[in-house]
Each structure stands twice: as structure tokens, then as C-alpha cells.
Amino acid sequence: MPETSSVSPPPVSGAIARQAILDTSGAVVGYELFDRSVQSSAHTAASDAQLLFNALSNADNDALIAKKTLFINCTHDSLAGGHLDLVAPERLVLEIPPLAIAQVDQIQTRLPNLQELQQRGFRLAFDYSVLTQPYEAWLPLASFIKFDLSVLKPDTISTFVKLAQSQSAAQLIADKVETAAQFTFVSQLGVHLFQGYWFARPVVVEGQSVRPAQATILQLINMVRKQASTNEIEEVLKRDPTLSFNLLRFINSAGFGLRTEVTSFKHAVMLLGLKRLFKWAALLMTTSHAGDTPSAVGTTAVVRGRLMELLASEVLSPEECDNAFVVGVFSLLDTMLGMSMEAALATLTLPDSVTQALLHNTGPLAPFLELTVACESGDDATFARAATMLGLDSNQINWAHLQALTWAETLED
């Protein structure tokens, strides 16, 4: 892997970042999209319009927006922009920032525009400042109210949540939820939507064993890697009808685009071949949840796998693109299995490039993994460094990113 410079490259202009919004069951219900090339306090009407254009032009709008709600950061100037006339408002939430202290006298002036947006069908999200006295005229317009756990103290959060529950019908979102303790705290207050990375952090349980369904998938992956016969592979599947059903459901889903319906596992092996079967067997691991692992872990792993595959297709061989997919899917294997990554990978026979990337952050696939994970966070330095190293621009990354999100939705068909 090339040596990295100590000086971070400039941000990749126009690149989209995302953060998942989860419900109490741990399922992804939406995504907040933001332009990582500008600070949240510095984005403009032009950058807002560009973000929305990128989001809607780089993905199958119907497939993604039909199932997930997209939260879009706005400026007050951008709310009057013509770009909002080009989108269906039903699945978009406009995040409305509070005004600067010097502009508080404009609260009433801005009110008619916000009311008009709501009447057009847009839902509006505000931060906790909408619960304060100066903004009381905006509060009835709130469909969502967000509470930033990195800014507010627990007592303050509790006070604001109770105030929101008594004075508004808005759904409440806890933002910057980084630990299980924070998730439990805000859940007990009655908050039902969450943003943050607590769900993806591995909880290693001492003496944790692999669950039977997971063990069968791991066995299947190892047999495929060892090029076992079709009959041998089919025999493994016969012992786990649920796994067989899930594999056939995945292969026949819209996301794989097969023209012929696969009706038996032997048919699947013959039609797909061992290389593609290896990739899809890895995908099955995302549906096999250990303990209380949120389903968002599997969803995130699927998006990572597809995103890495698409990014790698720009510069690597087809075989390494398949390996890139597996790296993305298995990047959360420790969380899925409830054990360290070292212990998890010890159960599998994987290509060297996959193991190097997952265990040591080295090898040809490591920068793709870094870039993929950075798409979910505010780690602009890693994002820019990896994008520069791979020679990928914002158009390529945005296209792959939105396509991956859409593809993950088609697997649920």
C-alpha cells in the first residue's frame, strides 16, 4: 500500500456522507445525508441544492426513497430555492437550523416560508432550541426534534424531552448516541429514534460461541472456499432448511437481477458458480443476528459490501472486486458474532487480501474499507486521504454510495 503523507489532502468537494437513523428495534428507518466538503455551520444554499441533486441523480430515487426517509440539512436561504420544486416531499425531511443570535428578530419573518413548506408536504426537523420561548411559533411545525447528546447534559436532555412530549406531537431523535448506556438512557425517557454508532460497536462476550445458524453459514463459506462438490455443499444446506430458504430468497431478490428463478440449491450452485456463491454466502451472515444485535448492523454491512465492490470496480480485477465485497460485509463480523475480529476470522478460510484488510488494515483492499467506513462518519481526513490514494473523485464515490444504499433496499423485496 502506498505511503501516506503526513499532510491531509483537501476535502473531496461535493462528496456525500450519511448517518443511519434507527428505531427502537434497531432497524434503519432513514438516513441523514450531508455534504462532507463543508462544515455544518458553513453550508450554503448552493451546497444544499448540490447535495440534493447528487442524492437524487446518483440513485434509483423510487427504490431508496420509497423505503427510507432522507433527512437533508438546509440553510434558511436554501429553503426558498427552486431545487425543492423538483422533488416529491413525502419522503424528505428538511433539517431547519436555529437562527444566529443576531438574527433572532427574524423568527417571525421566516415563519411563513416554513409554513408554506409544511403545506407542500415537507416534514421539518429542528434541534432542541425549538422548545425555547423565542421559537414557540415554530414548534407546531416540527415533525421531528433532535437532541444532541454530545452537547446536552443528561439532566438537560431529560428536561427537554419531557417538554417536547408535553408540548409537541413531534417524533424525538437522539443524536450522537455513541454507547449502549446512552441508548438505554434516552430510550427510557421515551425517545424512539436514534443516530450514532453505538449499534456497530462490537460487544465481546467472554466464552461466546457461534450460534448454530451462523456455524452453518461459516461451514458453507469454508466449503465453497475449498471448492467442495455441489453434492457436498447441498448436503450442508439440507441440514438447515432456514438457511437454504434464505439463500434462495436472496438469490431471487431484485438486487441480483437473475432472469431465471433459482428453485433449488443445487441449481443455485450450478448457475452461479463457487465464486459468486462465496460472495452471497458471506451476505447471508448479515441476516443471522447474534443475541440483541440490531438489524441495522446487517443493513450497514450489506451497504459496505456493495459500496466497496463498486468502488473497487474502478481500479481492481473482478476477482478482487468480489473480495472487496466480502471485506465490506465482514467488516462488522465481530459485532455480528459477538467476538473479537481475530476470533471471528479464525473460523473462516478467506483470501489473504480479505484477512489483511480486516485484521491489519493493510493490503490492496484496506483503503477501500477506510473510504467506505468514512462515508458513514465525519472523519473527513480519512475520507479525503483514501479517496486521493485511490484516485476517486466525488462523482464516482457519490454514484457508488447511493447505488449501494439502493441495492441494499432491493434485497428486501
CA distance 44 to 42: 6
pLDDT, tens only, 175-211: 999 999 999 999 999 999 999 989 888 766 555 566 7
Residue 81 has pLDDT above 70, yes or no: no
| 81: DSSP letter | -
Rounded to whole angstroms, how far apart are CA atoms 387 and 382? 8
Contact 107, 135 (CB under 8 A): yes
Residue 383 exposed, middle or buried by CB count within 10 Å (0-12, 13-18, 19+): buried
Crossing angle of helices 394-410 and 45-57, in 10° steps, is: 50
pLDDT of residue 7 exceeding 80: no
Question: Checking DSSP bridges between strand 142-148 and strand 69-73, what pairing results, if any?
Answer: unpaired
The residues facing 145 across adjacent strands are 126, 172
The DSSP string of 230-264 is: HHHHHHHHHT-HHHHHHHHHHHTSTTT--SS---S
> pLDDT per residue over 312-368, tens digit each?
998 999 989 999 999 999 999 999 888 899 999 998 989 999 999 999 999 999 999
Report residue 367 as a C-alpha cell. 483503503
pLDDT tens figures, 214-223: 888 888 899 8
C-alpha triplet 168, 170, 172: angle, nearest 5°: 115
163 phi and psi angles, rounded to 5 deg: -65, -45
Ordered by start, the domain boundaries in the chain are 16-197, 212-410
Entry pTM = 0.86
Domains 16-197 and 212-410 are alike in CATH topology: no
**Domain 212-410: CATH superfamily, name plus number:** Hypothetical protein af1432 (1.10.3210.10)
Q: pLDDT tens digits, residue range 277-288? A: 888 888 888 877
Inform me whether the pLDDT recorded for 6 exceeds 50. no
Q: Which residues of 268-277 are buried (b: 16+ CB within 10 A; e: fewer)?
A: bbeebebebb
- DSSP H/E element including 185: helix 180-188
pLDDT tens-digit map of 10-43: 555 567 889 999 999 999 999 998 876 655 445 5
Task: Report pLDDT for 289.
Answer: 61
Domain 16-197 sits in CATH at 3.20.20.450
**How does pLDDT run across 371-413, given as a tens digit for each residue?**
999 999 878 889 999 999 999 998 899 889 989 998 888 876 5
